[in-house]
Amino acid sequence: MLRVIDTGPITNHVNFVQTPRGQFAYVTVGGLNVVKAFRTADFEQVATIPVGDLPHGIWPSGDGSRVYVGIENGDAVTAIDTATNRVIATIPNGQAAQALVYVPDAAPAGVVGTEGLQPLGLAASALHFALTGLDGKNATTVSLFDQGLTQVLQAAVVGLEPAKRYVLALTTNADGTGAIEPIAQFMTNPAGAQIVNAVGPIRQIVDPTTPARDERRYLVVMTVENGKPGRPVQFQQSETTRSSIAR
């Protein structure tokens, strides 16, 4: 082992890029929503590039001029210019982009390369919002992916105490009070972060035998005390009422 680099919470993938300026390691840091670039000759960090919510897979172009990043909680792929270390394009691509591979010359010359593509349909249906901590700052990013009768909820939780148990829950009030419906318990890692997933009829439950109701639930992160939900520590943004979860 040559060296251990502290890159940040929810460090996901790394890839190496050879450029005219030397070789660099590009690292996706999901908890900070950035890509960090390190010079491999001396491990010095040379850039921090904001790319979107929960960057995951990463791969360079064949000539090293671009780096492509899957934005898992943003349903997109971003392109980074390695000469300037800035995002130059954001490409929608459907739900929860994770790993990706760049294949040079995959489309022959003169071919557009989009012949096999089709509309995203249900895969384009998703809600994205954030939770704020007690300090009022955005911390956790959340995606709710529609799968038809069920939804997949994914939260990139950061900003909590390390190695402590919490619960992601739904409450009837935006301040974390009222009726509590636990979704998933989790333990934070040494950086106070974790990826939390849940599958089910989270967005809405419809009973055809009863009149439709307009009730709302709000996503919160709560401590776990004596095995039960304790005090709320992160709250769904109040300004995103349109993205609150109807039942």
2-38: per-residue pLDDT in tens? 888 999 999 999 999 999 999 999 999 999 999 999 9
Mean pLDDT of 216-224: 92
Check whether domain 11-92 has CATH 2.60.40.1120, yes or no = no
pLDDT at residue 239 in the model:
45
- pTM for this structure? 0.80
Q: Residue 154 and residue 162: Cα distance in Å, rounded?
A: 20
Q: Which amino acid is at 70?
A: G
Highest mean pLDDT among 141-145, 151-155, 160-164 belongs to: 160-164
Q: Which CATH class is domain 121-246?
A: mainly beta
Tens-place pLDDT, residues 74-132? 889 999 999 999 999 999 888 888 889 998 888 888 888 777 777 777 767 788 889 99
Beta bridge partner(s), residue 186: 166
> Out of 6-15, 147-156, 200-209, 231-240, which region has the weakest mean confidence (pLDDT)?
200-209
pLDDT at 245: 52
CA 199, distance to chain mean position in Å, is 16
Query: What's the average model confidence in pLDDT over 126-144?
Result: 87
Q: Give the pLDDT confidence score for residue 79 in this predicted structure.
A: 98
pLDDT at 247: 40
Domain with CATH 2.60.40.200 in the chain: 121-246
Count of CB atoms situated within 10 Å of the CB of 72: 25
CA distances from 94 to 9, 58, 77 (A): 25, 17, 10
Residue 138's pLDDT is 74
